[in-house]
Amino acid sequence: MDRQQTLALLVRFRGGDRAAEDLLLERVYAELHAIADRLFRKEGGSHTLQPTVLVHEAFLNLAGEGVDWESRTHFLCIAAKCMRRVLREHARARGAEKRGGGLRRVTLVDVGRDTGDGLDFDLEALDQALEKLAGLSERQSQVVELRFFADLSIEEAAQALGVSTGTVENDWRFARAWLLRELQQAG
């Protein structure tokens, strides 16, 4: 919870410390879970959340501002994984209840020019499609995860994955098209 602790963990993680990675995952997961819970507990009807906004809130809470961009990228990588897990668990828990509540739909929207014609698909379907993609190309699925769930830029994703920006750009273009098609086919 202490920002310095988080930073220290990030440093250890960057140094290749697996235990630090686990602790970070745990910490980030708990924080995202808590933030998401607060949103989900709000009563009455339907509202929306943006995973990337949650991730950035978690980042500010746990690491604070003034963190160097490399640490930030590492944090966001971990947060992307956690965010996906939080959403997946909520989708499953609520789905299992079959009482209508919970989060179901995912919309891909252009926030810059919100035209209201976002692409809609099922959250679980997105998760499964990403799993399938991971089976075909681990890296492409990682690129999507980083972009969708933690809002990493092409450059940041390239840094995180240790590949060139050109590679990420190609991966992203392709994986995005692949996913949209996959989800359209799934209905």
By CB under 8 A, name the one of 80, 165, 168, 181 that touches another protein: 181
Q: x/- site string to another protein, residues 99 to 138, per CB under 8 A?
A: xxxxxxxxxxxxxxx----xx---x-----------xxx-
Residue 118 CB, nearest approach to another protein (Å): 7
For residue 6, give Cα distances in angstroms to 2, 45, 112, 132: 6, 36, 32, 32
Q: Which of 75, 82, 130, 148 binds another protein (CB under 8 A)?
A: 148
From 19, 26, 131, 186, residue interacting with another protein (rule: CB under 8 A): 26
Q: Does 13 bind another protein (CB under 8 A)?
A: no
CA 168 to chain centre: 17
* Contact pattern from residue 60 through residue 99 relative to another protein, giving x for each residue in contact according to CB under 8 A and a dash for the rest: -xx-x-x-x--x---------------x-----xx-xx-x
Dist. CA 74–CA 161, nearest whole Å: 10
b/e 42-64 (16+ beta carbons within 10 angstroms → b): eeeeeeeeebbebbbebbebbbe
